[in-house]
Chain A
Amino acid sequence: MSASELNAKTAVELAKLLADGEISSVDLTTACLNRIEAVDGSVKAFLSVDREDALAQARASDERRAQGKSLGPLDGIPLALKDIVAVTGQPLTCASKMLENFVSPYDATSVEKLKAAGAVLFGRLNMDEFAMGSSTENSAFGRTHNPWDLDRVPGGSSGGSAASVAAAETILSLGSDTGGSIRQPAAFCGTVGLKPTYGRISRFGLVAFASSLDQIGPFTRCVEDAALFLDAVCGHDPKDSTSLPDQKTDFLAGMASLKDRKWKIGVPKEFLAEGLDPEVRASVESAIEFYEGQGCTVEEVSLPHSSYAVPVYYILATAEASSNLARYDGIRYGHRSEEAKDGIELYYKSRGEGFGEEVKRRIMLGTYVLSSGYYDAYYLRAQKVRSLIRKDFDDAFAKVDCLIGPATPTVAFRAGDKVDDPLSMYLSDVYTISANLAGLPAMSVPCGLSSEGCPIGMQIISPVLQEAEMLAVAKKFEDAHEFSGIVAPDSAKGGASS
């Protein structure tokens, strides 16, 4: 695989080639589909691909362009979707047996917007069932492999989204992030992954895991591609009550205008403490030194409540999930047990058969923390600590423009390492969860490779609605380094090869 091949290029490069008439969307889409055929048997990023539908969209894009009616830079660019957003007429399984045969009768708002931008929306990407997990091992349809090392996990829950971009099976992909489900797999697979401010992108049509934390975001091979994605998808949606009003977008231009700023960068001391892999630490520290060399000021800050982020998250997210997932009962849609004798047993059996282990674990935990007698001790207290976590960020952002630290405590771990130890799995999200709790925009940018050849990601966290600045900070680093824009080398150990 070389970067000269179409499917390994960035969207901004391809947009130019398409605009100049050098290539067609059909060429590009075909290149991606061929790549999937070649490598997805070992990467297993996709649950399904509707080849004909993808090519039909590509042809339509080419026709628009021929008539001078191009819809913008994303027109004709292949964009694969995590199997958690609704597309009319396409499966929507959330990698669960529960929704194995579900076909969505409507489009998510994000999908509508991407269609309006002309993107070739294709494929259903694997994930942890209902987005619950950090390794994409909790899929009812088999695990996804990390293209850099097939024995390792791609991260999760958006593992398919990360792996598909890293293995050059698509140009862009859409994922969702509830506690790190975009940034952690992006770090593990060496892609850019961005979670916007909560409320930036409509959640209508995004299957809910934890409603107050879920956000859609992109996986890309470069920072500018993430800006392109946001430009197309962000904006107020009257169908989502948590959607932010009066949003300013135009991130691509915004980040360009900010590129020469000398930022005040905060480094949360809690993120460089015990438990951080030395190689990850070294990479992130050298990235921080890079910014100092660029004339930025770097200062240590403290997020004193950040160590409580994981417990707060596992109370709030599971509580919301226990209620959000109550609708899966096999009545109006979804898996229906054939064993049930009456309407009551139908619930127990359909849900018992339809949900996987991690989903059951979280439903039980969420049910527990909301149940009578425990609500105040767990749920209410967690909501209060969430306020304190948010306040820590407010205090930090009074002093600095953004925060930089590691995205994950380690590089991608080996498949099977953590499946029987849910708590240690939960702790792999230790640096990413806080931004979800506080509603802040955050992204992972590739910043190095470990001695074993595994990608390392650094995380940038910015104040609410400051995505343009966050992207500019990331671009500054990307421009001076070689870590972004690369795809998993076919020569890597067990790597995606054709």
Chain B
Amino acid sequence: MKYEAVIGLEVHVQLKTASKMFTSVPYRFGEEPNSLIDPVVMALPGSLPVINREAVAKSVQVGILLGCDIAKTCKWDRKNYFYPDSPKNYQISQYDQPLCLNGSVEIEVAGPSRSEEGPHRNVQLTRIHLEEDVGKLTHFDRDSLVDYNRAGTPLIEIVTEPDIYSADEAFAFLTALRRILVYAGISDCDMEKGQLRCDANISIRPVGSETLGTKVELKNLNSISGVRNGVAYEIARQKQVLSEGGSLVQETRRWDADRNMTTSMRTKEEAHDYRYFPDPDLMPVSVSEEWKAELAKDLPEVPFDRQRRYQEDFGLPYSSASVLISDRMLADFFESAVTTGGSPALLANFVVNDLSRELSAGEEGVDLSNCKVEPAGLSELVKLVEENVISNQIAREVLNEMLANGGSPRQIVKDKGLEQSSDEGELETLCREAIAANEKAVNQYKEGNAKAINAVKGYVMKATKGKANPKVVNDLIEKLVNE
């Protein structure tokens, strides 16, 4: 029998706010244990929560970005369960009136190669709600230690419909979601810092069947590749079990990235009874049309819309459009340069290839936002190429100079005398000299080896230190060889 997998994801995202969800204690990763606490975080007797407006605002923004229905009114509920990392032994969450319902995330499943666009599809969401994070337990042989720094940090939970059908799609979903959230400044989504966490509900069913199979909840997927590998492993495991005539049990399994396998955590679960009820300490929140409109104003275009615009309006190839939108800084730099002029295709090339490469090879901590090349400068550089003042090759040299010492490209070209030479008389003399010096190559060329002529061209370029206009040189050599 042929099986298909059905996957639903539950993604927790830490919101980037100055203070915690229900109290004005800051949250930062990697601080001294229990340095970020107060009576509310520690659930001291008599302490009370007050909602962080920015956390609500950011959650509404996520809802807008993902096309959700934003609740006119949402309320707060207590989810009651005991665990040492949960100071109140209930978590303030949203149960039956979450902030956002429905919505979707557009994903692109990888194409056959990096330069070919893969198919796009919308993965449907069930809901998004706002809640608070718990603390951190560290286990030792004889006891455990609790650090409450993370407790009370604002967290959104994004729940998808069972609308993902492969490990690659799960990977694509998280990649797309993360990009949208980072773009909009909602969260840094650093999985290593726990800012984005993902659980997967995985089942398989015979192809064509409408009902869902036995569900396995997969935990500890703590990197994006871990999600892909863990989900892939689990699907394969489930198929294997069924093909060997076995049966699956509903259970929670843990992805062990080191051993590259999933292991069972618990099977017979105590039926959860969280005794949700409305938190009497907190009042409902309503989101007016005005507030929504105000929040929408601050949001960037979502990455795939940008990608389409680059392809359609600027005629960029998928290969550069997709790289540009993979990082908001790249895309913003590119767009800013386009507005000051220059061919979008050339600008894209310089941003995606030269600038990115130089920056990643260069000094630590220097990126597009703080390097010495500004969008207007790059646009000026590209214009020099377009005007045939310099060649592409010289342009790279100028760019390196700009990165190292700043300055205007036009000035650099002038100061260093890098203008391209297009004087045909002068170049013809050089070309004749080159043909004479490369007799063997010329003969090979005449015998049909097209590439052989490059030696001749190289001679000229070298003699002019790259300043010769390549097109003029080409034309001259063609003419002279065939004389």
Asked if chains A and B are in direct contact (CB within 8 A), the reply is: yes
Measured CB to CB, the residues of A under 8 A from B are 85-86, 92, 94, 99, 102, 104-106, 108, 203-208, 210-212, 238-242, 319-320, 322-323, 326-327, 329, 331-333, 343, 347, 367, 370-372, 375, 379
Q: Which residues of B contact A106 (CB under 8 A)?
A: 39, 44
Q: Which residues of A contact B277 (CB under 8 A)?
A: 319-320, 323, 370, 375, 379
Tell me how far the C-beta of A381 lies from the nearest C-beta in chain B, rounded to whole angstroms. 13
User: With A211-B280, A371-B275 in contact, do A326 and B45 touch (Cβ < 8 Å)?
Assistant: no
Evaluate contact between A326 and B80: CB separation under 8 angstroms. Answer: yes
Interface residues of B in 7-53 (CB under 8 A from A): 39, 42-51
Partner of A329, one of B89, B144, B275, B282: B89
Partner of B84, one of A85, A102, A343: A343
Evaluate contact between A372 and B89: CB separation under 8 angstroms. Answer: no
Tell me how far the C-beta of A136 lies from the nearest C-beta in chain B, rounded to whole angstroms. 19
Evaluate contact between B46 and A323: CB separation under 8 angstroms. Answer: no
Interface residues of B in 257-315 (CB under 8 A from A): 271, 273, 275-277, 280-283
Tell me how far the C-beta of A376 lies from the nearest C-beta in chain B, rounded to whole angstroms. 11
Q: Within the assembled complex, what's the spacing in Å between the Cα atoms of A321 and B144?
A: 28
Instruction: Indicate if B87 sits at the interface (CB-CB under 8 A).
Output: yes
Q: Within the assembled complex, what's the spacing in Å between the Cα atoms of A240 and B276?
A: 22
Partner of B275, one of A203, A208, A370: A370
Tell me how far the C-beta of A178 lies from the nearest C-beta in chain B, rounded to whole angstroms. 12
Q: Within the assembled complex, what's the spacing in Å between the Cα atoms of A208 and B48?
A: 9
Q: Which residues of B contact A331 (CB under 8 A)?
A: 84, 146
Question: In this complex, what residue of B is CB-closest to A319?
Answer: B277
Instruction: Indicate if B78 sits at the interface (CB-CB under 8 A).
Output: yes
Partner of B89, one of A204, A210, A326: A326
Q: Within the assembled complex, what's the spacing in Å between the Cα atoms of A332 and B39?
A: 11
Evaluate contact between A332 and B43: CB separation under 8 angstroms. Answer: yes
Partner of B45, one of A99, A240, A241: A99
Instruction: Indicate if B88 sits at the interface (CB-CB under 8 A).
Output: yes
Q: Within the assembled complex, what's the spacing in Å between the Cα atoms of A327 and B84?
A: 10
Evaluate contact between A343 and B46: CB separation under 8 angstroms. Answer: no
Of all A-B residue pairs in the complex, the 6 with the closest CB atoms, nearest first, are A326-B89, A212-B280, A370-B275, A211-B280, A207-B45, A205-B46
Q: Within the assembled complex, what's the spacing in Å between the Cα atoms of A379 and B275?
A: 11
Q: Which residues of A contact B459 (CB under 8 A)?
A: none
User: With A207-B46, A241-B48 in contact, do A332 and B275 touch (Cβ < 8 Å)?
Assistant: no
Q: Which residues of B contact A104 (CB under 8 A)?
A: 44-46
Evaluate contact between B46 and A367: CB separation under 8 angstroms. Answer: no
Q: Within the assembled complex, what's the spacing in Å between the Cα atoms of A436 and B146?
A: 38
User: With A332-B87, A379-B277 in contact, do A326 and B46 touch (Cβ < 8 Å)?
Assistant: no
Q: Which residues of A contact B51 (CB under 8 A)?
A: 241
Q: Within the assembled complex, what's the spacing in Å between the Cα atoms of A241 and B75?
A: 13
Interface residues of B in 82-123 (CB under 8 A from A): 82, 84, 87-90
Q: Most chain-B Cβ atoms within 10 A of its Cβ — which of A99, A105, A205, A326?
A: A326
Evaluate contact between B82 and A326: CB separation under 8 angstroms. Answer: yes
Partner of A92, one of B45, B88, B281, B282: B45
Question: In this complex, what residue of A is CB-closest to B271?
Answer: A372
Q: Within the assembled complex, what's the spacing in Å between the Cα atoms of A301 and B337?
A: 78
Q: Which residues of B contact A105 (CB under 8 A)?
A: 39, 44
Evaluate contact between B273 and A371: CB separation under 8 angstroms. Answer: yes
Q: Within the assembled complex, what's the spacing in Å between the Cα atoms of A317 and B144?
A: 34
Question: In this complex, what residue of A is CB-closest to B85?
Answer: A331
Q: Most chain-B Cβ atoms within 10 A of its Cβ — which of A104, A240, A370?
A: A370
Q: Which residues of B contact A242 (CB under 8 A)?
A: 280-281, 283
Evaluate contact between B78 and A323: CB separation under 8 angstroms. Answer: yes
Evaluate contact between B47 and A204: CB separation under 8 angstroms. Answer: yes
Q: Which residues of B contact A205 (CB under 8 A)?
A: 46-47
Evaluate contact between A367 and B275: CB separation under 8 angstroms. Answer: yes
Question: In this complex, what residue of A is CB-closest to B135?
Answer: A332
Q: Which residues of B contact A92 (CB under 8 A)?
A: 45-46
Evaluate contact between B273 and A372: CB separation under 8 angstroms. Answer: yes
Sample (23) of A-B pairs whose CB atoms are under 8 Å apart: A85-B46, A86-B45, A99-B45, A104-B45, A204-B46, A204-B47, A205-B47, A208-B46, A241-B50, A241-B51, A241-B281, A319-B277, A320-B277, A320-B280, A323-B80, A323-B277, A326-B80, A327-B43, A327-B45, A327-B89, A347-B82, A370-B276, A375-B275
Q: Which residues of B contact A320 (CB under 8 A)?
A: 277, 280
Tell me how far the C-beta of A45 lies from the nearest C-beta in chain B, rounded to whole angstroms. 21
Q: Which residues of A contact B87 (CB under 8 A)?
A: 327, 332
Evaluate contact between B48 and A333: CB separation under 8 angstroms. Answer: no
Q: Which residues of B contact A204 (CB under 8 A)?
A: 46-48
User: With A99-B45, A327-B87 in contact, do A211 and B281 touch (Cβ < 8 Å)?
Assistant: yes
Q: Which residues of A contact B89 (CB under 8 A)?
A: 326-327, 329
Interface contacts beyond A105-B39, A205-B46, A343-B144: sample of 12 additional A-B pairs, CB < 8 Å, sorted by A: A92-B45, A106-B39, A207-B45, A319-B277, A326-B89, A327-B87, A332-B43, A347-B82, A370-B275, A371-B275, A375-B275, A379-B277
User: With A205-B46, A323-B275 in contact, do A241 and B146 touch (Cβ < 8 Å)?
Assistant: no
User: With A331-B146, A332-B87 in contact, do A210 and B280 touch (Cβ < 8 Å)?
Assistant: yes
Q: Within the assembled complex, what's the spacing in Å between the Cα atoms of A329 and B90?
A: 12
Evaluate contact between A241 and B82: CB separation under 8 angstroms. Answer: no
Q: Most chain-A Cβ atoms within 10 A of its Cβ — which of B50, B88, B273, B280?
A: B280
Q: Within the assembled complex, what's the spacing in Å between the Cα atoms of A483 and B282?
A: 41
Tell me how far the C-beta of B384 lies from the nearest C-beta in chain A, rounded to whole angstroms. 59
Q: Within the assembled complex, what's the spacing in Å between the Cα atoms of A34 and B410?
A: 93
Q: Which residues of B contact A375 (CB under 8 A)?
A: 275, 277
Q: Most chain-A Cβ atoms within 10 A of its Cβ — which of B46, B47, B89, B282?
A: B46
Q: Within the assembled complex, what's the spacing in Å between the Cα atoms of A211 and B283?
A: 12
Q: Which residues of B contact A343 (CB under 8 A)?
A: 84, 144
Evaluate contact between A239 and B50: CB separation under 8 angstroms. Answer: yes
Q: Which residues of A contact B275 (CB under 8 A)?
A: 322-323, 367, 370-372, 375
Evaluate contact between B44 and A203: CB separation under 8 angstroms. Answer: no
Tell me how far the C-beta of B145 lies from the nearest C-beta in chain A, rounded to whole angstroms. 11
Question: In this complex, what residue of B is CB-closest to A213?
Answer: B280
Q: Which residues of A contact B146 (CB under 8 A)?
A: 331
Q: Most chain-A Cβ atoms within 10 A of its Cβ — which of B44, B84, B275?
A: B275
Q: Which residues of A contact B45 (CB under 8 A)?
A: 86, 92, 94, 99, 102, 104, 207-208, 327
Interface residues of B in 364-394 (CB under 8 A from A): none
What string of 1s and 0s marks CB contacts (under 8 Å) between B352-367 and chain A? Answer: 0000000000000000
Evaluate contact between A240 and B48: CB separation under 8 angstroms. Answer: yes
Q: Within the assembled complex, what's the spacing in Å between the Cα atoms of A173 and B148?
A: 36
Q: Within the assembled complex, what's the spacing in Å between the Cα atoms of A326 and B45?
A: 11
User: With A106-B44, A242-B283 in contact, do A326 and B273 touch (Cβ < 8 Å)?
Assistant: no
Q: Which residues of B contact A208 (CB under 8 A)?
A: 45-46, 281
Q: Within the assembled complex, what's the spacing in Å between the Cα atoms of A217 and B89?
A: 29
Evaluate contact between B46 and A108: CB separation under 8 angstroms. Answer: yes
Q: Within the assembled complex, what's the spacing in Å between the Cα atoms of A332 and B276?
A: 24
Partner of B48, one of A94, A239, A329, A370: A239
Q: Which residues of A contact B82 (CB under 8 A)?
A: 326, 329, 347
Q: Within the assembled complex, what's the spacing in Å between the Cα atoms of A220 and B48?
A: 28
Q: Within the assembled complex, what's the spacing in Å between the Cα atoms of A147 and B281?
A: 36
Q: Within the assembled complex, what's the spacing in Å between the Cα atoms of A242 and B45?
A: 17
Tell me how far the C-beta of A131 lies from the nearest C-beta in chain B, rounded to whole angstroms. 12
Tell me how far the C-beta of B281 lies from the nearest C-beta in chain A, rounded to whole angstroms. 5
Question: In this complex, what residue of B is CB-closest to A96?
Answer: B45
Interface residues of B in 57-85 (CB under 8 A from A): 78, 80, 82, 84
Q: Within the assembled complex, what's the spacing in Å between the Cα atoms of A131 and B276?
A: 24
